[in-house]
Amino acid sequence: MSGFLRQSRGVLTFGALTVNTMFWFVPIMMLALLKLLLPVAALRRVLTVWLMWCAENWIAFNGFVLRGSGSRHWWADGVEALDRRGWYLVLANHQTWVDIVVLQVALNRRIPLLKFFIKQQLIWFPLLGLGFWALDMPFMKRHSPSYLARHPEKKGADLEATRKACEKFRHTPTSVINFVEGTRFSEAKRVARKSPYEHLLLPRAGGIAVALSAMGEVFDAILDVTLVYKDGPPKFWDMICGDRVMVTIDVRALPIDPAIIAGDYQNDREFRREVHRWLGALWREKDARIAEIKGRVE
C-alpha cells in the first residue's frame, strides 16, 4: 500500500472513531448530568446501567471500525466463562496506549465496563475527559516524592482516593482495572528499575491492596490478563492506518485469596509483605507465560 493510501486510511478510520465518540458523547453526558441531579439512589443506579449500555455500544462500534481497517488480528483466550453481571479486579501488564483499546474491545460485553484509574490531567482531554468523568472513571492525582516531602499530609491521599472510588462500585456490576507496573514497559525502564523479570517491570501493590480492602468480598474473581504483541507494542496511528496488530489476550480467572483482603496495607507491615509476596508470585507466573506465548506465536 502506498504511503498516501495508508495515511488516507488512517484519516478515515480516525474520523469514524471521532464521529462515533461524538455521537455517544451526547446521551452519555445527558444521563450523567441527570444522575448528578437526582437524589434517589435507586434511580441513580438505573441511570448507571444506561450509561454502561451507551459506553458498550460506543466500544462495540469502535471495534467494528478497527476490524474494517484491517488492523485487528486478536486472539482472546480464557474469556468464555466470564460473566458480564459479575464484579472483577483486572490486573494487566502494560506496553502501549493501544492496550486500553485492545482490552476494551476484547472484553466488551463479556464483563462489566472496565473502569480505569485515570490521571487527573486527562479530564481536560477533549470529549474523552468529560466522557470518562460521566462514566465514573476515577481520576487520580499522583504526587511526586519531592512534593510529598514538602506536604507530608498528602501521603496516602492517592490510596484514599482509590478506596473512595471503589466504594462507589459496590452497587452495580463493575470491572476495576489496574496496570500494576504503573507505566508502560520498555527495556530501558526494566534495566533502570532493576526488574527481576524478563518481560515486566516491578509491580506496585498499593492500589491493588486498597481496591481489595474496599471491595474484596464483592469481587467474584481476579482476572489476570496478559497482553503479548507478536511484532512488539504498536502505535495507535499505525493501527488505524491498517497495520496488522497481532496480539494474544490471555485471561485467567483467579479466586480471591482471603489472606490479601483482610489487613491494613498502609499500617500493617506484615500484611504489606504478604501482599507483596502474593503479587510477586503472580508476576513471576505472568513473566513465564509471556515467554511461553512469545515462543508459540513466533
**Residue 35: inside a domain, yes or no?**
no
pTM of this structure: 0.88
Single-letter amino acid code for the residue at 297: V
Domain housing 78: 73-297
Residue 251 burial (CB count, 10 A):
22
CATH number at residue 135: 3.40.1130
Supply the Cα-derived Rg of the chain in whole angstroms.
Answer: 20
**Residue 39: inside a domain, yes or no?**
no
> Cα(first)–Cα(last) distance of the chain, in Å?
24
**Residue 155: inside a domain, yes or no?**
yes
Query: DSSP state, 167?
Result: H
**Residue 105: inside a domain, yes or no?**
yes
Single-letter amino acid code for the residue at 278: W
**Residue 185: inside a domain, yes or no?**
yes
CA dist., res. 115 & res. 56, Å (int): 12
**Residue 78: inside a domain, yes or no?**
yes
Residue whose C-alpha is closest to residue 90's, from 219, 165, 178 = 178
* pLDDT tens by residue, the chain, 298 residues: 578 888 999 999 999 999 999 999 999 999 999 999 988 888 999 999 999 999 999 999 999 999 888 777 889 999 988 999 999 999 999 999 999 999 999 999 999 999 887 777 777 777 788 888 888 887 766 655 665 567 666 666 666 666 777 777 888 898 989 899 988 999 999 999 999 999 999 998 887 887 887 777 888 999 999 999 998 999 999 999 988 889 999 999 999 888 888 777 878 888 889 999 999 999 999 999 999 999 886 6
Query: Domain count of the chain?
Result: 1
- The H or E element spanning position 36 is helix 3-37
**Residue 120: inside a domain, yes or no?**
yes
**Residue 22: inside a domain, yes or no?**
no
